[in-house]
Amino acid sequence: MLRRFILGLFLTTAAAWAQHPEDAFVGQKAPELKAGDAWINSPALTLEKLKGKVVLIDFWAFDCPFCNEAMPHVKEMYDKYSKDGLVVIGVHVPRIDYEKELPKIRDAVSNKGIKYPVVVDNTYQMWSDYLCNTWPSHFVVDQNGVIQLSHSGTGRYEDTEKVIQKLLAKNNGK
């Protein structure tokens, strides 16, 4: 019984350690996006070219249940705020080998109704640059390329939206 308790305690604390503290990267310059293995819905983008825009970067995988839970919220932000200057970039990072297949990724983007740019990061370069350690991970980058919100896992949708609204208001002089 004691062994089960210790094993259970270990597993639950290990999961908690796997995630970064909320907003651990706020105030840091966002790492530049890489060319990736392919871009879907857009030619390659860079944060340098997007200076002056608010950017939501969503690290996800097409067969990840937690990513599927977060996806409607990301799409809603795109639908709601892209006309105001929000740029959403999905970074598809495979969790397992079959998620690396480009035709399957393209099908997933189409089937999920994703209209915003998606870059495929099969080599985990951007994943590593952003120190991601769980799917999904989200970053809101301001007009100067500085991270204003970082979040690992699901949730914090209202917080994310408030940060986006605040940053977009600066563009609109509100």
- Give per-residue pLDDT as tens, 1-18: 555 544 444 433 334 444
Question: For tokens 């597993």, what's the residue?
Answer: 11
pLDDT in tens, 93-116: 999 999 999 999 999 999 999 999
Where does the pLDDT of residue 174 fall: very low under 50, low under 70, confident under 90, or very high at 90 and above?
Answer: low
Residue 10, in any domain of the structure: no
Residue 7, in any domain of the structure: no
Residue 162 has pLDDT above 80, yes or no: yes
Residue 58 has pLDDT above 70, yes or no: yes
CATH number at residue 165: 3.40.30.10
Residue 69, in any domain of the structure: yes
Residue 92, in any domain of the structure: yes
The whole domain housing 56 covers 20-171
Residue 4, in any domain of the structure: no
Residue 155, in any domain of the structure: yes
- pLDDT, residue 171, reads 77
Residue 8, in any domain of the structure: no
Nearest partner of 123 among 56, 35, 32, judged by Cα: 35
**This prediction's pTM:** 0.87
Determine the Cα–Cα distance for residues 49 and 45; give it in Å rounded to an integer: 7
Residue 35, in any domain of the structure: yes
Name the domain count of the chain. 1
